[in-house]
């Protein structure tokens, strides 16, 4: 995908804590693809965060079937360690 590496670097920077890395990723994305790519990638990241926060806020649990088939990836990524994972387990989804 054209600009794939730039988009991945931007995504990593968005979820990171290094402001300078985020600024660098924005600049690289704007120069490598376009300023519109920065806006588009930012909108996608923000929308994902919004949707995730809404799901967490209302306590939407993960379906049991999904829990069963995603155990290894959730473990690898440390997703069960997030405070919001409590909602999934509280509402009865079991592994």
Q: How far is CA 15 from CA 5, 12, 76, 91, in A?
A: 16, 6, 17, 27
Sign of CA dihedral 38, 40, 42, 45: negative
Query: In this structure, what token pair is assigned to residue 46?
Result: 């923000």
How far is the C-alpha of 87 from the C-alpha of 79, rounded, in Å? Answer: 12
pLDDT band at 19 (very low <50, low <70, confident <90, very high): very high
pLDDT digits (tens, 9 = 90+) for 27-51: 999 999 999 999 999 999 999 888 8
Domain map of the chain by residue range? 1-58, 61-95
What pTM did the predictor assign?
0.60
pLDDT digits (tens, 9 = 90+) for 50-85: 887 887 777 777 778 888 898 899 899 998 888 877
């Amino acid at each position: 995908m054209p600009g794939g590496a730039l988009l991945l670097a931007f995504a990593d920077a968005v979820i990171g804590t290094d402001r300078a890395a985020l600024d660098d990723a924005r600049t690289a994305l704007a120069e490598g693809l376009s300023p519109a790519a920065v806006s588009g990638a930012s909108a996608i990241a923000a929308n994902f965060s919004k949707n995730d926060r809404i799901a967490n806020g209302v306590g939407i649990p993960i379906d049991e079937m999904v829990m069963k088939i995603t155990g290894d990836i959730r473990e690898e990524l440390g997703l069960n360690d997030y405070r919001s994972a409590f909602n999934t387990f509280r509402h009865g989804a079991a592994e």
